[in-house]
Amino acid sequence: MSDAEKGAVDTFLEEIDPTVFLFGALLTVGVIAAFFVSPGSVESGITSLNDSLLGAFNWALLVIVFLIVVFLLFLIVGPWGKIRLGDESPEYSFLSFFAMLYSAGFAAGVVFWGPTEALFYYDNPSPLFGGVEGGSAEAMTVAVQQTLFHWALPQLAVFTIMGIAIGYFAYNYENVPLRVSSALTPIIGAENLDGPFAKVVDILAVFATIGGVATSLGFIGSQFITGLDYQWGINMGNAGILLVVTMMTLLFTTSMVLGVDRGIRRLSNFNMVLFVILMFATFIVGPTLFLILLGTQAFGGMITDFVSMSLFTGAGAFGGGNPEATNWMNDWTVFYWAWALSWSPFAGLFIARISKGRTVREVAFTGIVATSAATIPWFTFVGGTSVWAHHNGVADFSAVMAGEAGAEVSGFILFEAFPFGTVFMIAFMILVTTFFITSADSSTLAVSMMTTGGKARPSSINRIFWGVVLGMTAAILMILGGTGSANTLQQAAIITGTPFAFVCFIAMLSLIRDFGSNYGQVLLQDETVLVGSSTKTETEPPTGPGGPVESDDD
């Protein structure tokens, strides 16, 4: 072994946190290995636990995510928004910062679900809109409204709150590392960030990131392979799946090793340009005027019904209500929130990594407003065109809505109906691939940071190791998808995501506690006593505004 290789290995061994690295790796690899040993028993066990958690905590996920959205909106307009993460200038331009945050957070899911999600709500609207019949003209607007709600503010909010909390405590406190458990600094104490509770949080963060992201990347990879089969009749088979994922793994690992500036930043900028081009091309080729009218009404409906959509539980399992309403809410809204929460450790850590020098207001605005400004037109134009095309017989998505064909085929059915459909499909597949790469390399960078105790630039060996693990996991999920095991690991990620609802909530409380102590209360006076009586004794009545009014009577 050369001196350079020895140096790289020594650097890798010195930088890792042995507890988080070993337990995170063993837990992740162990779950995958268990599928090969006994997929049926593991699947049934995880499904049972998943159902129990949804039954007990579905309301908690709805309430916590809603409160986080409200808090972030307050940070944008309130006095705490001027607080800065660290004392340096921002490392990236705002457009690059926005592109990386959007690409790394959930853009791969946006591309995957863009052409297809509104179709399911069109066929089976939310029970909240009880008077809307599935397949009707009115269902078209409700479908896009529900889609905008799921992909605009709430999912982004859980990423953003973690990013602000991790970044604030890491950059504004001494000896606080850049890792997930740092978001809880005021609660557990800076001196306990190497304690057992913090270690458990970081280990769960590694598992949630690998399980959650790999499952999503497996779906994105399946979309790419489906496109090859649908358009050109290329049936890849298991060997082809391994080949495609191997090539994608090489691409995102190369991008990751190049670093944030040369790799992720440049590819994210390219993603956003292609994303905007494809979105507006769909808008122009599709039913343009209808999309304007549809988007205006759907956006207005989302704003008007935001609170009721956020807190709708169906109340079906109790009180003699309709259990189908609760099941619908669990299958869609609660599923999405739990899924986003399983991504929140990696997305939050990556957001913190690229947010140094920015104000809390900037990060909150970019995280939930600027990104929503990109997401809302995409789902309106692409999703709205899919619903319009099916409703008017331009394209047939019946097999997708009936579950006979996978959701990944919707984009290809849609673009096939366009003039120059092959060009649209090729652009769509390129976008799927590049978003796959940016999501994978940013999540792998985040896991590398988690397993090094918060090092902002982990060694290449560390990043390559987790890149290979992530790529292998995605390939296994795609191969096992036919047996239902992919769905099982997806449920495992949801199980991991549910505890992170409470981690995100505690992170929000940590920020409120610290901001209130150091930058002034915004609701109550600093000396307010909530319970009991004040220890201060007034020696004389106060004068001035609010004091006793003097009388002219003797």
Helix axes 460-480, 237-259, angle to 10 degrees: 160
CA–CA dist 554, 548 (Å, integer): 16
For 327, half-sphere exposure in the C-beta direction (CA atoms, 13 angstrom radius) is: 5
Whether 389 shows a pLDDT value over 90: the answer reads yes
C-alpha angle 90/91/97, rounded to 5°? 85
CA–CA dist 431, 148 (Å, integer): 21
Measuring CA to CA, how many Å separate 464 from each of 106, 459, 506?
22, 9, 32
Look at residue 220 in the predicted model and tell me its pLDDT.
67
Look at residue 161 in the predicted model and tell me its pLDDT.
96
CA–CA dist 532, 383 (Å, integer): 56
For 307-340, give the DSSP string: HHHHS--TT-SSTT--HHHHHHHIIIIIHHHHHH
Mapped onto helix, strand or coil, the DSSP state of residue 287 is: coil
Look at residue 533 in the predicted model and tell me its pLDDT.
60
Whether 14 shows a pLDDT value over 50: the answer reads yes
Tell me the mean pLDDT in the region 449-466: 80
Mapped onto helix, strand or coil, the DSSP state of residue 394 is: coil
What does the block give as tokens for 43?
A: 């699947």
Look at residue 6 in the predicted model and tell me its pLDDT.
53
What does the block give as tokens for 466?
A: 């987790």
Tell me the mean pLDDT in the region 367-392: 95
Whether 78 shows a pLDDT value over 80: the answer reads yes
For 65, half-sphere exposure in the C-beta direction (CA atoms, 13 angstrom radius) is: 38
* Confidence category of residue 55, pLDDT binned at 50, 70, 90: confident
Kindly report which listed range (39-48, 138-147, 289-298) carries the lowest average pLDDT score: 39-48
CA–CA dist 204, 329 (Å, integer): 26
Tell me the mean pLDDT in the region 76-90: 94
Tell me the mean pLDDT in the region 51-61: 83
CA–CA dist 222, 475 (Å, integer): 9
CA–CA dist 16, 458 (Å, integer): 9
Residue with tokens 């504004």: 172
CA–CA dist 538, 361 (Å, integer): 40
Q: Please choose, from the candidates 402, 330, 409, the residue with its C-alpha nearest in 3D space to the C-alpha of residue 116.
A: 409
Whether 554 shows a pLDDT value over 90: the answer reads no
Report the amino acid identity of residue 547.
G
pLDDT in tens, 513-553: 999 999 887 766 555 565 666 555 444 444 434 444 444 44
- Residue 520: CB partners within 8 Å, gap ≥ 6? 79, 526
Mean of the per-residue pLDDT values for the chain? 81
Whether 415 shows a pLDDT value over 80: the answer reads yes
Long-range contacts of residues 310-318, Cβ cutoff 8 Å, at least 24 apart: 310/62, 310/65, 310/66, 310/69, 310/149, 310/154, 311/62, 311/63, 311/66, 312/62, 312/126, 312/128, 313/58, 313/59, 313/62, 314/127, 317/55
Does 24 or 397 have the greater pLDDT score? 397
Look at residue 531 in the predicted model and tell me its pLDDT.
64
pLDDT in tens, 248-276: 777 766 766 665 556 667 777 888 889 89
Name the burial class of residue 441, with classes exposed (0-12), middle (13-18) and buried (19+) by CB atoms within 10 angstroms of its CB.
buried
Look at residue 347 in the predicted model and tell me its pLDDT.
86
pLDDT in tens, 190-242: 888 888 889 888 888 887 777 677 766 666 666 667 767 766 777 766 676 67
- Residue 359, strand partner residues: 84
Whether 438 shows a pLDDT value over 80: the answer reads no
Q: Please choose, from the candidates 367, 500, 497, the residue with its C-alpha nearest in 3D space to the C-alpha of residue 71.
A: 367
Report the amino acid identity of residue 44.
S
Q: How far apart are the first and last CA of the chain?
A: 100
Look at residue 414 in the predicted model and tell me its pLDDT.
92
Mean pLDDT comparison of 21-25, 454-458, 505-509, highest-scoring range: 505-509
Does 168 or 110 have the greater pLDDT score? 168
- CB-based burial, 330-360: b 16+ in 10 Å, e otherwise: bebbbbbbbbbbbbbbbbbbbbbbbbbbbbb
